[in-house]
């Protein structure tokens, strides 16, 4: 990879002497954005890739908007809301909003959309986003109630993220397929062309409503092209055929930083990295059932050094297995573990593994990080054999209880609530390979308690328990690298959502 | 001839059927499709929903039988990813791949025939060795790397050609060269060998003795005979080029069948992968079948074998 990028960069040499051509796109306010994966559908309920989320937030609006800088909830399609009881939220809707096709926005749209997606028959791709909804009810034209099946404290968070509102008449008529072909939302951009698997063009919605927290900037067009090959994306950036790429590997980003007409911006994301340890009854690595061995692993890895030297700018070392900004991700009661190879060796000796211990580790991305971890483990006498797999294959192995150590990541779907992260791995779901009933009960309590303090306490205690027994090794948050033309002014947010509507040109 | 043709046709059908079965089962062996389809962020409920929705919980043999019946009825199924008809998807992407395949073949012939002829005429001189080294480099250089070199020179350095896309004819220039250059050496060696053999034949001596111009001897008398095997090789190479387009189309983001194949593999969209594998192998089998028939028609000895 490194070699190829370097090779491509040498192609630049003659051009640098000749001076580079003027930026063509500032003049017509358009951004050409290359992404490596196509969304399976433009309808935000029927895809599960990042680009789908990005398009979804540009073309549609949600009831609530979470400000990415302050994490504060603001009204978007709803003007205000209040909790009626443990399971019911009531929303007062904004008036005078219209969809891209001219249909007026009102309570019917909200009720139809939420009831449609909540019905498992309709097969929404990411069931966890909608399964909590029992139903939506119309109170009057601009008032709706959303009722959850059980007590669901994170409802506002979900309503500010994946739950886009569709126009009821149009959606009823064309369904998800029609919505994919000719998408219609209320958002700051509209889809003007869609060639599945190839290109999608967004154009500024000139009729976007006043007072939206998604404030529109000067960008008129976002031309999204699907380019699966990383080297091709780099080449496009170097030849100024593209203006914006994301998820650029660290080494390539560092090389592209030297190019005068490009800028590299990195930012922390909500994706957390951690290790699981199989402590189940029939664990293929019985040594992991010994808490001293788990603590030895914890002490063996110099997380600070790996985070700063290998993971990259924006990475932060974690104390618990959730993202720090998530509601309920409270690490205050959790014990922390220093990098201390001496102590690690002592713990191993105490557990009877003074002569060394062999373990398998499964991993699926950022292999250089896994290799660094393996290096540190080796230094204390743990021989970790790497089993590098495709995500699905790795997950199958974990779910079958066949994995020993794992090097995992989780993005929480950008949901800023701990119910979207820790419970996946510790609440007896299929990926849980430690299964402590006490932890499960505390997480369950957190997931179903409305009162914020009691809720926070439950999560705090669960996280403390996980850390105390070292049921996993929290590692770091993953940064994302964006490469863009140097005249583009933009901010990288932890939710990995480039917001083209608010981007601007530098003077 | 008819018996030969029927036998060959039956064999071709059998090959296609075997390919379909092997690819179907290999795809299923590659992991739990429901987990893969649900993606990285999926939780239990998502995965189970997908398993039920696509009937992935039923026996494999049953799923294969169902698929085969569908295909025989002309229905390639529905893409799990795009949720549209696979047939329509494939038809939509086919032209780009055909254009690329044919233009690469033409490009390969365009450089290999003159080079082969020159190498034969100036046998064992520096011209022959130059032609040989061009061929060796073409065969030895992986085409994705050669593609990168082209991009470096023509897109980043000179800015003559766009790096990727399939919007205009300019998008096809580098992929054509990268793909065509790779198959050119085979043609070149064939032309050279044919020409060397033909040039020493009696009728060429006769033609020369009649006082025909050198040009007329080489082009009209020698080349015309030397080029016959190239025709049947072309059929086989075209099949190869269509398959080889997976890498090249992905590198240049050319929106054809190869690109679709790559996307469907990464997305575990197995009905699409299956259809593309099927289609490419049917093409290959068909082209080989036609090549066989042409050869048999030209040379009756083959029919007996």
Across the range A244-267, mean pLDDT stands at 91
Show which of residues 159-178 on chain A sit within 8 Å of chain B, judged by CB atoms: 176-177
Lowest-confidence pick of A173-177, A438-442, B120-124 = B120-124
| Residue B5 forms part of a structural domain | no
Query: Using CB atoms, which residue from B82, B83, B163 is nearest to A241?
Result: B163
Tens of pLDDT along A128-151?
899 999 999 999 999 999 999 999
pLDDT interval class at A1 (50, 70, 90): very low
**What pLDDT score was predicted for residue A20?**
47
The confidence score (pLDDT) of residue A14 equals: 55
Q: Are the C-beta atoms of residues A76 and A64 closer than 8 Å to each other?
A: yes
Residues 403-422 in A contacting B (C-alpha not used; CB under 8 Å): 409-413
Q: Residue B146's closest chain A neighbor by CA? A: A4
Cα–Cα distance between A505 and A456 in angstroms, integer? 42
Of B284, B261, B282, B280, residue with least CA distance to B27: B261
CA closest to B88 among chain A residues: A196
What mean pLDDT is predicted for residues B237-246?
83
pLDDT digit string, tens, across residues A380-431: 999 999 988 877 778 888 988 999 999 999 988 888 999 999 999 999 988 9
pLDDT of residue A3: 52
Check B41 against A180: CB less than 8 A apart.
Answer: no
CA B84 to chain centre: 26
pLDDT confidence of residue A190: 97
Does A429 reach chain B within 8 Å, measured CB to CB?
A: yes
Domain A29-60+174-267+480-505 sits in which CATH superfamily? Answer: Periplasmic binding protein-like II (3.40.190.10)
Give the whole-angstrom CA distance, residue A344 versus residue A288: 14
DSSP per position, B44-82:
HHHHHHHHHHTTTTS-HHHHHHHHHHHHHTT---B-TTT
Residue among A11, A13, A228 whose CB faces B253 most closely: A228
8 A C-beta contact, residue B188 and residue B181: no
- Least CB–CB distance from A229: residue in B31, B38, B251: B251
Residue A102 distance to chain B (closest CA, Å): 28
Contact list in B for residue A390 (CB cut-off 8 A) is 31, 36
Question: Do A462 and A175 meet the contact criterion of CB atoms below 8 Å apart?
Answer: no
Confidence of residue A311 (pLDDT cuts 50, 70, 90): very high
Q: What is the mean pLDDT of residues A452-461?
A: 96
User: Is A251 a residue whose pLDDT tops 90?
Assistant: no
Interface of A with B in 340-379 (CB under 8 A): none
Quick check: A490 and A503 in contact, CB under 8 A? yes
- ipTM entry: 0.76
Helices and strands counted in chain A (H then E): 17, 18
As to burial, measured by CB atoms within 10 angstroms (0-12 exposed, 13-18 middle, 19+ buried), residue B300 is exposed
What pLDDT sits at residue A19? 45
What is the rounded distance in angstroms from the CA atom of residue B189 to the CA atom of residue B115?
9
Residue B138 domain flag = yes
Q: What is the mean pLDDT of residues A299-318?
A: 94
pLDDT in tens, A279-288: 999 999 999 9
**pLDDT for A296 beyond 90:** yes
Nearest to B156 among A46, A239, A399 (CB): A239
Q: How many domains does chain B have?
A: 1
Residue A44 has what pLDDT?
94
Within a domain: B222: no
pLDDT value, residue A22: 43
What is the CATH number that goes with domain A270-479? 3.10.105.10
Q: What is the per-residue pLDDT for B264? A: 86
What distance in Å separates the CA atoms of residue A165 and residue A175, rounded to the nearest whole number? Answer: 14
Question: Which ranges in chain A are annotated with CATH 3.10.105.10?
Answer: 270-479
Contact with chain B for residue A7, Cβ under 8 A: yes
Residue A68 DSSP code: T
C-alpha distance from residue A486 to each of A14, A263, B65 (Å): 20, 5, 56
Split at pLDDT 50, 70, 90, the class of B304 is low
- pLDDT, tens only, B157-186: 888 999 988 888 899 999 999 999 888 888
Fold classified for A64-169: Dipeptide-binding Protein; domain 1 (3.90.76)
Give the CATH number of the domain where residue B295 resides. Answer: 1.10.3720.10
What does the pLDDT average to over A179-192?
96
The Cα of A121 is separated from the nearest Cα of chain B by a number of Å equal to: 9
A-B C-beta contacts closer than 8 Å: 142
Q: Check CB contact of A149 with chain B, cutoff 8 Å.
A: no
Q: What's the pLDDT score for residue A12?
A: 64
The C-alpha atoms of residue B98 and residue B181 are separated, in whole angstroms, by: 17
Tens-place pLDDT, residues A225-245: 999 888 899 999 999 999 999
Say yes or no for a CB contact (<8 Å) between B43 and A235: no
pLDDT of the residue at A4: 65
Q: What whole-number distance in Å separates Cα of residue A485 and Cα of residue A461?
A: 46
Chain B positions in Cβ-Cβ contact with residue A235 (cut-off 8 Å): 148, 151-152, 155-156, 163-164
Q: Select the more confidently predicted residue: A504 or B35.
A: A504
Q: How many residues does chain A have?
A: 507
A226 Cβ under 8 Å from any chain B Cβ: yes
Residue B54, domain member (yes or no): no
Question: What was the pLDDT predicted at A17?
Answer: 46
User: Pairing between strand A221-226 and A30-35?
Assistant: parallel
Q: Kindly give the residue spans of alpha helices, DSSP state H, lying in B73-226.
A: 86-121, 126-140, 143-150, 170-199, 202-209, 214-216, 224-226
Query: Is residue B284 exposed (0-12), middle (13-18) or buried (19+ Cβ within 10 Å)?
Result: buried
Whole-angstrom CA distances from B96 to A264, B76, B269 are: 34, 20, 21
Nearest to A349 by CA among A385, A380, A379: A380
Query: What does the pLDDT look like over A320-378, one tens digit per residue?
Result: 999 999 999 999 999 999 999 999 999 999 999 999 999 999 998 888 999 999 999 99
Domain with CATH 3.90.76.10 in chain A: 64-169
Give the domain range for residue B187: 86-192+229-304
- In the predicted structure, residue B287 carries a pLDDT above the cut 90: no
Reported as a single tens digit per residue, the pLDDT across A54-107 is 999 999 999 999 999 999 999 999 999 999 999 999 999 999 999 999 999 999
Is residue A173 pLDDT above 70, yes or no?
yes
- Note the Cα B287 to chain centre separation in Å: 10
Least confident piece of the model among A7-11, A100-104, A173-177: A7-11
**B chain contacts of residue A413, beta-carbon cutoff 8 Å:** 41
Chain centroid to CA A351: 38
By Cβ distance, the residue of B42, B89, B155 closest to A235 is: B155
Query: Which of B28, B34, B43, B92 has the highest number of chain A CBs within 10 A, making it the mutation to test binding with A?
Result: B43
CATH 3.40.190.10 domain range(s) in chain A: 29-60+174-267+480-505
B156 and A15: CB-CB below 8 Å? yes
Q: Please give the mean pLDDT across all residues of chain A.
A: 92
**CB-based contact A453:A246 (threshold 8 Å):** no
* Chain A, window 27-86: residues with a beta carbon less than 8 angstroms from a chain B beta carbon: 37-38, 40-41, 46, 48-49
Instruction: Name chain A contacts of B38, Cβ cutoff 8 Å.
Output: 48
Q: Over the stretch A17-39, which tens digit does the pLDDT of each residue have?
A: 444 444 446 778 999 999 988 88
For B252, which of A232, A412, A424 is closest by C-beta distance? A232
Which of A327-336, B51-60, B165-174, B251-260 bottoms out in mean pLDDT, i.e. has the lowest? B51-60
């Amino acid at each position: 990879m490194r070699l190829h990028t370097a090779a491509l960069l040498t192609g630049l040499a003659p051009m640098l002497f000749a001076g580079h051509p003027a930026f063509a796109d500032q003049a017509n306010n358009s951004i050409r954005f290359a992404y490596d994966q196509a969304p399976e559908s433009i309808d935000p309920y029927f895809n599960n890739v990042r680009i789908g989320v990005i398009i979804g937030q540009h073309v549609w609006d949600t009831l609530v908007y979470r400000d990415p800088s302050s994490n504060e909830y603001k009204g978007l399609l709803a003007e205000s809301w209040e909790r009626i009881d443990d399971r019911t939220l009531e929303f007062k809707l904004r008036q005078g909003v219209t969809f891209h096709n001219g249909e007026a926005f009102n309570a019917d749209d909200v009720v139809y959309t939420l009831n449609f997606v909540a019905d498992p028959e309709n097969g929404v791709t990411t069931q966890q986003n909608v399964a909590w909804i029992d139903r939506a009810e119309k109170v009057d034209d601009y008032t709706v109630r959303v009722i959850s099946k059980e007590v669901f404290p994170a409802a506002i968070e979900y309503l500010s993220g994946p739950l886009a509102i569709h126009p009821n008449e149009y959606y009823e008529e064309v369904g998800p397929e029609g919505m994919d072909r000719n998408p219609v939302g209320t958002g700051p951009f509209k889809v003007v062309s869609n060639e599945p698997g190839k290109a999608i063009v967004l154009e500024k919605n000139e009729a976007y409503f006043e007072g939206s927290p998604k404030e529109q900037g000067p960008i008129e067009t976002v031309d999204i092209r699907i380019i699966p090959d990383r080297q091709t994306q780099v080449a496009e950036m170097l030849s100024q055929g593209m203006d914006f790429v994301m998820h650029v590997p660290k080494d390539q980003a560092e090389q592209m930083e030297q190019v005068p007409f490009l800028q590299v911006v990195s930012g922390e994301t909500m994706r957390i990295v951690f290790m699981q340890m199989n402590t189940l009854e029939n664990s293929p690595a019985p040594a992991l059932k010994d808490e001293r061995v788990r603590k030895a692993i914890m002490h063996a890895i110099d997380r600070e050094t790996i985070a700063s030297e290998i993971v990259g700018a924006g990475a932060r070392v974690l104390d618990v297995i959730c993202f720090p900004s998530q509601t309920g991700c409270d690490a205050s009661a959790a014990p922390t573990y220093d990098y201390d190879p001496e102590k690690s060796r002592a713990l191993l000796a105490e557990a009877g593994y003074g002569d060394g211990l062999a373990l398998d580790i499964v991993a699926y991305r950022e292999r250089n990080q896994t290799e660094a971890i393996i290096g540190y483990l080796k230094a204390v006498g743990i021989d970790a054999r790497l089993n590098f797999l495709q995500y699905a294959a790795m997950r199958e192995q974990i779910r079958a209880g066949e994995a020993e150590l794992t090097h995992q990541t989780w993005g929480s779907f950008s949901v800023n609530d701990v119910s979207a992260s820790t419970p996946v791995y510790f609440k007896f779901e299929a990926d849980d390979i430690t299964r402590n009933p006490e932890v499960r009960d505390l997480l369950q309590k957190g997931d179903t308690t409305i009162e914020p303090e009691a809720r926070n306490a439950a999560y705090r205690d669960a996280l403390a328990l996980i850390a105390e027994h070292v049921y996993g090794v929290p590692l770091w948050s993953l940064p994302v690298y964006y490469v863009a033309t140097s005249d583009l002014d933009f901010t990288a947010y932890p939710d990995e959502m480039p917001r083209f509507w608010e981007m601007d040109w530098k003077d | 001839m008819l018996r030969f043709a029927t036998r060959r046709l039956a064999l071709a059908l059998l090959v296609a059927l075997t390919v379909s079965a092997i690819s179907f089962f290999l795809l299923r062996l590659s992991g739990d499709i429901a987990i893969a389809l649900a993606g990285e962020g999926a939780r239990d409920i998502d995965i189970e929903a997908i398993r039920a929705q696509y009937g992935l919980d039923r026996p494999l043999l049953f799923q294969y039988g169902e698929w085969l019946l569908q295909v025989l009825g002309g229905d390639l199924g529905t893409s799990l990813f795009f949720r549209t008809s696979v047939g329509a998807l494939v038809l939509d992407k086919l032209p780009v791949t055909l254009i690329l395949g044919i233009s690469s073949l033409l490009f390969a012939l365009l450089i290999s025939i003159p080079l082969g002829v020159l190498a034969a005429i100036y046998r064992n001189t520096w011209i022959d060795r130059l032609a040989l080294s061009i061929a060796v480099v073409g065969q030895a250089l992986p085409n994705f790397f050669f593609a990168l070199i082209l991009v470096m020179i023509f897109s980043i350095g000179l800015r003559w050609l766009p790096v990727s896309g399939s919007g205009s004819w300019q998008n096809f220039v580098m992929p054509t060269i990268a793909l065509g250059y790779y198959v050119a050496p085979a043609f070149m060696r064939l032309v050279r060998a044919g020409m060397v053999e033909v040039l020493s034949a009696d009728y060429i001596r006769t033609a020369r003795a009649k006082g025909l111009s050198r040009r007329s001897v080489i082009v009209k008398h020698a080349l015309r005979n030397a080029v016959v095997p190239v025709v049947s090789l072309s059929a086989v190479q075209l099949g190869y080029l269509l398959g080889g387009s997976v890498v090249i189309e992905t590198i240049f983001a050319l929106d054809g069948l190869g690109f679709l194949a790559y996307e469907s593999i990464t997305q575990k969209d197995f009905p699409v992968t299956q259809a593309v594998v099927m289609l490419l192998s049917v093409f290959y089998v068909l082209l080989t079948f036609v090549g066989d028939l042409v050869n048999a028609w030209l040379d009756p000895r083959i029919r007996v074998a």
